[in-house]
Amino acid sequence: RKKGNAPSWEPLAVNYFDYAVWTNTDKQKNEWEKQLAYWQENLRGDLPVLQLSAAKRPVVKTNNGERKTYEIPGNLFKGIEVLCTAKRVTLNQGLIACLNLLFYKYTGNTDIITGTLTSGRQRSELENIAGLLINTVVLRTEVDPAAGFGDFLLNQQTVVENAFLHQDIPFAYLAEKLNRQRDISRSAIFDIMIIFNDERGYQQDALPEGFEVISYDKRPTSQLDIIFSFTVNNEGLSLYTEYNTDIYTEALIDRFVMHFEQLLAKCIEQPSVPLSAFSIVSEAEAQLVLDGFNKTVQAYETGITLTDLFRRRVSDMPDFPVVTFRNKVLTFRDIDVQSDLLAKYLVKKYCLQKEDIAAVSIKRSEWLPVVLLAVMKAGCAYLPVDPSNPRERIDYILQNSGSKVLVDAAELDRYAAVNPEDLQSVELPAAIDENNLAYVIYTSGSTGLPKGCMLEHKGVVNRIQWMWEKYNYSSIDSILQKTTFAFDVSVWEIFMPLCWGCRMVICDDDDVYAADRIAQLIENNKVTCLHFVPGLLNAFMDAVFEMPDLAKKLQSLNKVITSGEALPAATVDRWYSKMTAPVFNLYGPTEASVDVTYFDTKPGLQVIPIGKPVANTKMYVLDSFLNPVPVGITGDIYIGGVQLARGYLNNPELTSRKFIENPFMHGGRLYHTGDTGRWLEDGDIEYTGRNDNQVKIRGYRIETGEVEFQLLQLDGISGAVVMAADIAGTGKSLVAYVTGASTMSEICIKQELRKKLPDYMVPSFIVKMDAFPQNTNGKTDRKLLPMPGAGEDTAEQEFAELENET
Ligand code: AMP
Ligand code: MG
């Protein structure tokens, strides 16, 4: 402004972005076309999205912002300047490289898109014009994790130089030309911008006589997700940030800048170390997430098995009524005598030896704990097989496991016919120890067939002792056993009572989904604890809250356990709106003895984390190079500690892929869960999703690859994609998309699948397509698959025989 005057701006006479102005001559026209073609090529394919925090973003982009300026320490400024000079790159390019490296570290993305500004004064006519001529250009940077920072600098230089060589195409024009489907929660093409101002050459007296430069102190807003703007002046290097407060917090930006400085120091010191090896965590942060958040050592008794614990209870409390089923009640002594006999029968008839696998396939009844204990007393691991599985799948599991026996209803009938006297002299195998197998559970396998996960006594013993102590269980507790024994939730439902001594009330298979009967069971047996998959807890509340007399039957409850899938905050709030029994959210894969983290919920939370590691367990959130990521940053969840499975049965290849060496603890192993999450400040982990095609439907773990594999076995089906989707807001269900000449009706396809897969893996919807939509790389684009309409639900058209009274 002219000194002393209020500023007044005249609009520029010429819209210099005007295509017509820029393409006066053929030469200019050619140049324009060339530049446009450059960008179209450069921004080909799926554009990567850069998001530095796992926080949910507003559905529609907002401009709420804050800003903060940081001074970069002088030694770092000098260091990077020296390095840039040596490599003959500009400071601008060096700082952009370092920020991009940090983005890569935060997200694991190796393809990163940001924006930057050009002065827009390429033409000599524009040089002396006062006005905002800047243009935005896109920087698409490829990160090679194997390269050192020195080489990355050169790569970044090329990216920046190329962008500037093609800077004439106005950004808005380019965005329009690219004609991408816009995500209204985001800006066009990129969300983060990096700006560089060098004011070292700037001199006040270069202005015309009587003018001065002032800046407006505008209201804090944020045009983009974040703008990082570096300024170098005679004082040093500063970093101004402007960020969207609906996505980022000041603490996150502070931490980001702290990590930037740390990384800058590493880049300066070690420009030839591969980028993958740089960890952005400081020593203090690494110490916190690796150790501080994992202080879980508990000196539990070692060397004991589930059967050892059970025997102690038999001698402590022989007459305690541990098992209730319908109107039958069994004491510890009853269970002990029965399971001893059955163990002897099995050993005699099938020559069972230590660590043999014994498949068990029975409906829920008081026999269940007896059979499982008998198998263990025979020195064997039990392999639960849900009797409702199709024959073919059962056969596969039996054959794949090499199971020596199938304990089913028919076998129990044969056993019942044997005279107990004839078994008394049978010797059981020598006692097993904590390293022997307790059970083998088959879970869905991504390559088309289920896989058996082998769990040892020591992990399970640890898991149930932790739970018993953590939630103050005692002999006055009564646990509702309602999870099918084919899933490991049943392990604590069954073995906590058997091993530590409280009551177990076995729920009839038919009653598991009947809220009224569950409520009645709870009242009749003064049940104190039960488990729900979150989706089923909701369904339970639907029924119970509808009828006030049902809720009254739940008064004995004092702990509700959820696990198996993400627990929505709304579900928790809904529970506490009517109930007082606390809800505990547990997390863990079958591969790590049921659960490895816990979180005690309360009403009014925004998100329900999965919480902190259980005793003798370590949780890790790592990047793709197994570096720990700091608090707040999303990474892959790994599990270490005593609860890890031995591996997958007869599958050393998969075992070594999923169970790796623990880089932070000599001799330890880590299980790679496939889940993603992030540490919160207080040491809880927030679950953020999965990075593969494993899904959960009502708590059932399904590899969609297994369903696809079975679809592809059917005649005339040449392509199959299976996804989980929430079709009518009623929870997730499986949707299959198929291509090929098959004329089979949807119902037929489902019937065929039912011969191979358990019911919960049979898709609810089958959508026939001519071809799958593809992304620019020629791969099936799952995002573009159509949602089946709610009205098309074919499930309702099917006819099924009545199975039972309900
Ligand atoms: P499963 O082996 O059946 O226990 O399934 C393990 C998987 O279920 C985990 O890897 C998670 O993806 C998911 N899961 C289990 N518990 C939770 C939980 N509390 N919150 C979110 N996801 C969970
Ligand atoms: Mg689990």
Residues 529-547: tens digit of each pLDDT: 999 999 999 999 999 998 8
Reduce the secondary structure of 134-161 to three states and give it as a string.
CEEEEEEEECCCCCEHHHHHHHHHHHHH
Q: Is the dihedral of CA 266, 272, 274, 277 positive or negative?
A: negative
The CB of 532 under 6 Å from ligand 1? The reply is no
Q: Which atom of ligand 1 sits closest to the CA of residue 700? A: 3
The Å distance, Cα 54 to ligand 2 centre, comes to 23
The Å distance, Cα 612 to ligand 2 centre, comes to 15
Q: Work out the average pLDDT over 19-43.
A: 84
Burial class (CB in 10 A: 0-12, 13-18, 19+), 627: middle
8 Å CB contact between 106 and 55: no
The CB of 241 under 6 Å from ligand 1? The reply is no
pLDDT band, very low/low/confident/very high, at 126 (cuts 50, 70, 90): confident
Is 790's pLDDT higher than 80? no
The pLDDT value recorded for residue 19 is 56
The CB of 589 under 6 Å from ligand 1? The reply is yes
Q: Work out the average pLDDT over 83-104.
A: 96
- Specify whether the backbone of 565 is left (phi greater than 0), alpha (psi in -120 to 50) or beta: beta
The Å distance, Cα 178 to ligand 1 centre, comes to 40
The Å distance, Cα 487 to ligand 2 centre, comes to 8
**Which protein residue's CA is at the shortest distance from atom 7 of ligand 1?**
589
Q: How far apart are CA 697 and CA 50, in angstroms?
A: 30
The pLDDT value recorded for residue 794 is 47
The CB of 593 under 6 Å from ligand 1? The reply is no
- DSSP structural state of residue 790: G
Give, to the nearest 10 degrees, the angle between helix 704-712 and helix 746-754.
110
The pLDDT value recorded for residue 479 is 98
- Which of 696, 700, 732, 760 to mutate for ligand 1's pocket (most ligand atoms within 8 Å of CB)? 696
- Which of 451, 586, 587 to mutate for ligand 1's pocket (most ligand atoms within 8 Å of CB)? 587
Q: Is the dihedral of CA 109, 111, 114, 119 positive or negative?
A: positive
Mean pLDDT computed over every residue of the chain: 91
Q: For the segment 183-203, what is each residue's pLDDT rounded down to a tens digit? A: 788 888 999 999 999 888 766
The CB of 517 under 6 Å from ligand 1? The reply is no
Who has greater pLDDT, 203 or 618? Answer: 618
Q: Work out the average pLDDT over 623-645.
A: 92
**Beta strands 111-118; 135-142: pairing state:** antiparallel
Q: For the segment 433-449, what is each residue's pLDDT rounded down to a tens digit? A: 999 999 999 999 999 99
The CB of 699 under 6 Å from ligand 1? The reply is no
In the chain the first and final C-alpha atoms are separated, in Å, by 83
The CB of 687 under 6 Å from ligand 1? The reply is yes
The CB of 590 under 6 Å from ligand 1? The reply is yes
Q: Is the dihedral of CA 460, 537, 759, 705 positive or negative?
A: negative
Ligand nearest to the CA of residue 484, numbered in listed order: 1
Ligand nearest to the CA of residue 677, numbered in listed order: 1
DSSP per-residue string spanning 524-579: HHT--EEEE-HHHHHHHHHHHHHSHHHHHTTTT--EEEE-SS---HHHHHHHHHH-
**Which protein residue's CA is at the shortest distance from atom 3 of ligand 1?**
701
Q: How far apart are CA 264 and CA 707, in angstroms?
A: 47
Q: How far apart are CA 39 and CA 47, in angstroms?
A: 13
The Å distance, Cα 588 to ligand 1 centre, comes to 5
The CB of 566 under 6 Å from ligand 1? The reply is yes
8 Å CB contact between 328 and 350: no
**Which protein residue's CA is at the shortest distance from atom 12 of ligand 1?**
675
The CB of 571 under 6 Å from ligand 1? The reply is no
The pLDDT value recorded for residue 226 is 96
The pLDDT value recorded for residue 18 is 55
The CB of 106 under 6 Å from ligand 1? The reply is no
Mean pLDDT lowest among 193-202, 576-585, 717-726 = 193-202
What pTM was estimated for this model as a whole? 0.83
8 Å CB contact between 230 and 195: yes
8 Å CB contact between 556 and 526: yes
Neighbours of ion ligand 2 (CB under 5 A): 588
Give the type of residue at 204: Q
The gap from C-alpha 180 to its chain's centroid, in whole angstroms, comes to 28
DSSP per-residue string spanning 266-295: HHHH-TTSBGGG---S-HHHHHHHHTGGG-
Give percent of the chain with pLDDT exceeding 90. 73
Q: Work out the average pLDDT over 147-163.
A: 96
pLDDT band, very low/low/confident/very high, at 131 (cuts 50, 70, 90): confident
The pLDDT value recorded for residue 151 is 96
Q: How far apart are CA 395 and CA 404, in angstroms?
A: 13
The CB of 688 under 6 Å from ligand 1? The reply is no
pLDDT band, very low/low/confident/very high, at 204 (cuts 50, 70, 90): low
Q: Three-class SS of residue 594?
A: coil
The Å distance, Cα 286 to ligand 2 centre, comes to 27
The Å distance, Cα 14 to ligand 2 centre, comes to 66
Q: How far apart are CA 722 and CA 738, in angstroms?
A: 9
The CB of 564 under 6 Å from ligand 1? The reply is yes
Residue 596 makes CB contacts below 8 A (sequence gap 6+) with: 587, 588, 589, 613, 614, 617, 619, 639, 641, 643
**Which protein residue's CA is at the shortest distance from atom 4 of ligand 1?**
589
Give percent of the chain with pLDDT exceeding 70. 94
Is 737's pLDDT higher than 90? yes
